[in-house]
Amino acid sequence: MATTAPTTHAALLRWVDETAKLTKPDRIVWLDGSEAERKRLTEEAVAAKVLIPLDQKKWPGCYYHHSNPNDVARVEHLTVICTPTREEAGPTNNWMAPADAYAKLGAIYDGCMKGRTMYVVPYIMGPPTSPFSKVGIEVTDSVYVALNMIIMARVGTVALERLGQDGEFNKGLHAVADCSPDRRWICHFPQDNTIWSVGSGYGGNALLGKKCLALRIGSYLAKNEGWLAEHMLILEAESPTGEVSYVAAAFPSACGKTNFAMMIPPKTFDGWKIRTVGDDIAWMRVGENGQLWAVNPENGYFGVAPGTNRKTNPNAMDSVRKDSLFTNVARTAGGDIWWEGWDTEAPAELIDWKGAAWKKGSTEKAAHPNSRFTAPASNNPAISSKVNDPAGVPISAIIFGGRRSTTVPLVLEAFNWTHGVFMGATMGSETTAAAVGLKEGVRRDPMAMLPFIGYDAGTYLQHWLDMQGRIPNPPKVYMVNWFRKDGNGKFMWPGYGDNMRVLKWILDRAHGRVTAKETLVGNVPRPEDINLSGVDLTPEAARKVMDVDLAEWETELESQQEWFEKLGKTLPRPIALQRDILLERVRSARKQG
Ligand code: OXD
Ligand code: MN
């Protein structure tokens, strides 16, 4: 931690100087990423009541943070792509002209750090020596953000060393400022490799390496440089014979992504081991053997707490055991924590996420539904040994998943790359009436990237199609659905560890070990090829969860028209044609009865 700049990188020094002239902090502190620094910043945060220590015997190195109650989630309506033209941002993003955005936010930043410290956080997304990795500098007025960045990225001297005298870096300016929802903006300037975020201290808005750099700016860089920046977990699967494979999987939020990345296979799959490479983001490039190779640019987990327990995700529970931060969960006066979906019932009394007294039986939630843990990836007992490998890991299969109560079978294999891109482009997830601000029904969420594509969505799909020409040995592509319901509205598939059964079939296919049954909309497992021994499922339910119902598919394909119209004129023709072909085939099969 230094108050004089530990670098001679002229452009960096100039930018930090300009930023300080605008925001006018009392003090500038450069982070070095040392353990002593983490300790000192934590003490400062505790003294300022930004962090509350938990019981250090039970939760060593763990601290609690209440956010401003008006600032608890990503704000898609205030997230903006600032490209020279509106067309470059496309129909799925908010847009502002760069000059207007710089002027609007500049006025909010002006003097907003008076009386405060400006932390300069140099960081690397990706393993320090990897050709995949990118350097960012986040300037922030929040010690909480600085401490989260220390967990989520590789921070300090390591990043300045990689940058050298003249390396390229992302310029990230963040200020919580007065945390006013009226002066809250998350703006991205892809052409300037710049992010300006103001008015929020919440993770996805404020930890600029994550959604802002690794996905929005990342996807723009990836298109220009010929790679993929995706909202995907990366997992490692080791078979009983010691064969190690990797898959990348995209799921919209609330579909069990972290749980899948940290899955524990059922007892009947003894001998299979799942290890985590990443739980949220994958950067993928063509590498050795013409395969797609992936790295996880992050170094920690920023996970949703409610619903996480020793049964649903023991590895996540072990990951948060030490050196973790908890935001907006419930706590006890004695420094313990609790959230809805914890292993045990709530204690009689808690302090809720807003800091108010809470009594068991209250109709209010004790933890905010989007309360989070920030945990170092190195705490995960099932972390892959390849997580820091500069080459990344070779991807055998890409999986797209959503929450669909009908239509989408447990698993469907794409016929080819274009069909796989079509599957990703049309993937959707059901919202419920309870989810504020979202229309009930299926929200289309291409590759689970809807809020994260940093440019025009149709052009993004074209980039996916173009990648086929770059990948001599591409992964197979799948669609999965753990959430299909029976006639009584009950989930048919047990999910969690039993998803291993589906993953095993996917790997057997990817390695060419089993055949599949072709349906009009994709390939499905033959009953004998998917191991259901020991799973709580009647043969009839097993058939139904994997069934391709053509009447449902006709409705599904028809309903995609509205989405395609929204994407507009840049929707790639091969994607539109995929739908036409599938719909034609389904209609004619239905006519023939
Ligand atoms: C998300 C997250 O919102 O990972 O997708 O936090
Ligand atoms: Mn995410």
Give one DSSP letter per residue of 154-219, joined into a string: EESHHHHHHHTTT---EEEEEE-TT--GGG-EEEEEGGGTEEEEES--SHHHH-TIIIIIIIIIHH
Class of domain 301-379: mainly beta
Tell me if 204 CB under 6 Å of ligand 1: yes
Instruction: Return the minimum-mean-pLDDT range out of 37-41, 145-149, 348-352, 435-439.
Output: 435-439
Ligand 1 atom having least distance to the Cα of 304? 6
- Distance from the alpha carbon of residue 271 to the mean position of ligand 1, in angstroms: 32
Instruction: Give the nearest ligand 1 atom to 203 CA.
Output: 6
Q: Which ligand lies nearest to the CA atom of residue 233 in the structure?
A: 2
Of 82, 112, 179, 255, which residue is the catalytic one? 255
The pLDDT of 233-241, averaged and rounded, is: 97
Tell me if 216 sits within 8 A of 452, measured CB to CB: yes
Whether the pLDDT of residue 92 is over 70: the answer is: yes
Ligand 1 atom 3 nearest Cα: 253
Q: Which of 74, 216, 279, 372 to mutate to test the pocket of ligand 1 (most atoms within 8 A of CB)?
A: 74
Mutation test residue for ligand 1: of 253, 372, 374, the one with most atoms within 8 Å of CB? 253
Closest residue by CA, ligand 1 atom 6:
204
Range list for CATH 2.170.8.10 in the chain = 301-379
The answer on pLDDT for 557 being more than 90 is: yes
Specify whether 179 is catalytic.
Answer: no
Does pLDDT of 575 surpass 90? yes
What is the Cα–Cα distance from 213 to 167, expressed in whole angstroms?
16
593 CA → ligand 2 middle, Å? 43
Please tell me the distance between residue 63's alpha carbon and the centre of ligand 1 in angstroms.
21
Q: How many other CB atoms sit within 10 Å of the CB of residue 588?
A: 10
Fold classification of 10-50+72-225 is Phosphoenolpyruvate Carboxykinase; domain 1 (3.40.449)
pLDDT at 254: 76
pLDDT band at residue 35 using 50, 70 and 90 as cut-offs: very high
Residue 563 CA to ligand 2 center (angstroms) comes to 22
Pair of tokens at residue 354: 């807003």
Q: What pLDDT is attached to residue 149?
A: 98
What pLDDT, on the 0 to 100 scale, is given for residue 3?
Answer: 79
Domain 230-299+387-586 in CATH 3.90.228.20? The answer is: yes
Within the chain, all domains assigned CATH 3.40.449.10 are found at 10-50+72-225
Is residue 74 lining ligand 1, measured as CB closer than 6 Å? yes
pLDDT digits (tens, 9 = 90+) for 119-160: 999 999 999 999 999 999 999 999 999 999 999 999 999 999
Average pLDDT of span 317-343: 98
Residue 309 has pLDDT above 70, yes or no: yes
pLDDT at position 165 over 60:
yes
**Which residue CA neighbors atom 4 of ligand 1 most closely?**
280
> Using an 8 Å Cβ cutoff, are 89 and 456 in contact?
yes
pLDDT tens per residue across span 358-392: 999 999 999 999 999 999 999 999 999 999 999 99
The pLDDT assigned to 432 comes to 54
**What average pLDDT does the structure give for the chain?**
95
pLDDT band for 435, please (50, 70, 90 cuts). Answer: very low
| Distance between start and end Cα atoms, the chain | 72
Q: Counting atoms of ligand 1 from 1, which one is nearest the CA of 210?
A: 4
- Pick the ligand that lies closest to the CA of residue 230: 2
C-alpha 387/C-alpha 278 separation (Å) is 8
Residue 54: strand, helix, or coil: coil
The predicted structure's pLDDT at residue 533:
86
Return phi, psi of residue 138, to 5°. -105, 125
User: What are 471-514's pLDDT values in tens digits?
Assistant: 999 999 999 999 999 989 999 999 999 999 999 999 999 999 99
- What is the predicted pLDDT for the residue at 436? 44
Numbered ranges of CATH 3.90.228.20 in the chain: 230-299+387-586
Supply the angle between the helices 550-567 and 457-467 in degrees, to the nearest 10.
Answer: 120
Residue 534 has pLDDT above 90, yes or no: no
121 with 149: CB under 8 angstroms? yes
Position in ligand 1 atom list of the atom nearest CA 204:
6
Q: Which residue among 232, 280, 450 is best mutated to probe the pocket of ligand 1, counting the most ligand atoms within 8 A of its Cβ? A: 280
